[in-house]
Chains A and B, each alone.
Chain A
Amino acid sequence: MKRVLIADDSETILLLMRTRLELAGYTVETASDGQEVIERVVEAEPDLLLLDAMMPRKSGIEALRELRAAGYKTPAVIVSAHQNPGDADAPTDLEIDGFVTKPIDFDRLLSEIAVLTGAEAV
């Protein structure tokens, strides 16, 4: 089973994403800020990261930047509440594999995750 690490500062959103991902057959770990994300990645190397762009202390973007600098290639999808679906102004200097906006279109997100984790497995 593929292991996905999700990070969001809202317990409710974490519960929602965990439920949807577990229903889709993934093993889910959670983190509530960027620092925890870094710790979990170093400890357990999940197959995919699903990170909220904005979190207190350390955001998903900052955490991913540090991880990429440290050589971690784990595929990452950024979740943003700041943009509309068409905007997609994600940072271009960072290696991001997917970008979704809130409210989350789970059908799209799940198929994106399937592709990203599947591609990793090959």
Chain B
Amino acid sequence: LSPSLANRLRIGFAIGFALLTALAVIGVGRFIQKRQDFEDAIARSYQVEIAARVQVAQGTGGRAAGQIVRREANRRQELRDQISDDTRDTAILVAAGLIAGLTGALLLFSGLIASLRRPLEDLVDAAGHLAAGDLSTRVEVGGLSETATLGAAFNEMARQLEMEASHREQLDRLKDEFVLTASHELRSPLTSVQGFAELLMLERETLTPQQVETVEIILDNCNHLVRLLNDLLDLARSDAGRLSVRLRPTELAPLIDEVVRTMRAQTDGSDQALTEAIDPRLPEIEAEADRIRQILVNLITNAHEYSPQGANIEVKARVVGDEVEVSVTDDGPGIPETQLEHIFERFVRGDAGLTQRVGGTGLGLAITKSLVELHGGTIEADSTVGTGSSFRFRLPLGSRA
């Protein structure tokens, strides 16, 4: 049965039953009238009989009076039989009317519930879809005016949400495009500044010590800008889903060793001890060597820049279960817990006093995390203030990125 047909049948039955109930009410009314007539008729019959009996007793009525007495007795019997039949019929009619009335009410009520239930269930379903992120969800508006209003309000809300989401997406796209373009456009002038400063340094013997220092400052700042641009580009690509890694079988041990050796140029300058402890049985993993190098350089650079002169930095690599774990641990100042929670978010950096000196971009760890995740890995950090910090990332042994 289609819902509308079922509804029509329900209404039809309900009207039928209501008619039956009305009939019962009319029947009862008529019965009460009949009962009154019956009692009047019985009373009249007794009066007639008594009058006849008075005539018989006085001997004035003759035979006719005796006949009246018998006739009235019969008449009352007939009346009683009739009223008894009427009482039974009326009782049946009342019972039928009651049942019909109840059934009709039930039918109407269940119809009402059914007509509320379906739209409400639809609304619950739609709200679930909406909450799950399907913003194109709409409900069919119809039925009772209350559910129709509710449905229309729901659709309006969903429409607003969808509009805002698409607006947000558009802004995100514009932002990504902007960063990509800005990063590109800034590279040409930066190339010139850095290139000409390098040209000056090629002839450093002709420069005064102050000039050499000036050019070195220019070059330092160029390097900082380059790092910032590279990081911004990586992040914008990561946001736009365009950052990708090309996984190839990669030997981690020599890669880590190479990065550690390169980084020693910087750590030696601060009298920091950069040591490595690499498990010699480290297997090949699926990874992009340049990106792993970038991850390691970021982590070691952080340990180096945030730790004081003479600090110890250790790079460890070992197999843990079905993963390779690489950690960079320092005995520097450590990171307070409130900062540690947000350490992988962009533009979140350590202690403001330190960062003045350090001059990082605040993007390194956010990118590092994206890169580790693109390899199907995980990264975490723990730290105790005054004792040091440890950053660990794990990469799967089998390819699951």
Contacts and interface: CB of A to CB of B under 8 A. Distances in A.
Contact of A23 (B202, B230, B290): B202
Contact of A16 (B191, B230, B233, B234): B191
Contacts of B230: 84-85
B290 A13 contact: no
* From B191, B222, B233, B288, residue with most partner A Cβ within 10 Å: B191
Interface residues of B, number: 23
A106 interface: yes
Contacts of B187: 81, 102-103
Contact of B192 (A10, A86, A88, A106): A10
Nearest to A11: B192
Contact of B196 (A16, A23, A86, A88): A16
A103 B218 CA distance: 14
A84 B233 contact: yes
Contact of A81 (B184, B195, B198): B184
Contacts of A82: 184
B188 A16 contact: no
Contact of A86 (B184, B191, B194, B290): B290
B199 interface: yes
Contacts of B188: 10, 13, 81, 102
B368 to A, nearest CB: 13
B192 A12 contact: yes
A20 interface: yes
A101 to B, nearest CB: 8
Nearest to A17: B195
Interface in A1-48: 10, 12-13, 16-17, 19-20, 23
B195 A16 contact: yes
A103 B291 contact: no
Contacts of B202: 23
A83 B189 CA distance: 16
Given A19-B199, A84-B233, A85-B230, A103 B194 contact: yes
B294 interface: yes
Contact of A102 (B191, B196, B234, B290): B191
A104 interface: yes
B226 interface: yes
* From A19, A23, A102, residue with most partner B Cβ within 10 Å: A102
B199 A86 contact: no
Contacts of A12: 189, 192
B124 interface: no
Contacts of B233: 83-84
Contacts of A19: 199
A99 B225 CA distance: 21
B354 to A, nearest CB: 27
Given A86-B291, A86-B294, A20 B192 contact: no
B190 interface: yes
Contacts of A103: 187, 190-191, 194-195, 222, 226
A88 B291 CA distance: 12
A82 B202 CA distance: 28
Interface in B208-242: 222, 226, 230, 233-234
Interface string A65-104: 0000000000000000111111010000000000000111
A35 B225 CA distance: 33
A104 B191 contact: yes
Given A84-B233, A86-B291, A16 B192 contact: yes
A42 B169 CA distance: 48
Contacts of A23: 202
* From A16, A82, A83, A103, residue with most partner B Cβ within 10 Å: A103
27 contacts: A10-B188, A12-B189, A12-B192, A13-B188, A13-B191, A13-B195, A16-B192, A16-B195, A16-B199, A19-B199, A20-B195, A20-B199, A23-B202, A81-B184, A81-B191, A82-B184, A84-B233, A84-B234, A86-B288, A86-B294, A102-B187, A103-B190, A103-B194, A103-B195, A103-B222, A103-B226, A104-B195
Given A16-B199, A85-B290, A103-B191, 15 more contacts: A12-B189, A16-B191, A16-B196, A17-B195, A84-B230, A84-B234, A85-B230, A86-B290, A86-B294, A102-B190, A102-B191, A103-B195, A103-B222, A103-B226, A106-B195
The 3 closest A-B pairs by CB, nearest first: A86-B290, A81-B187, A16-B195
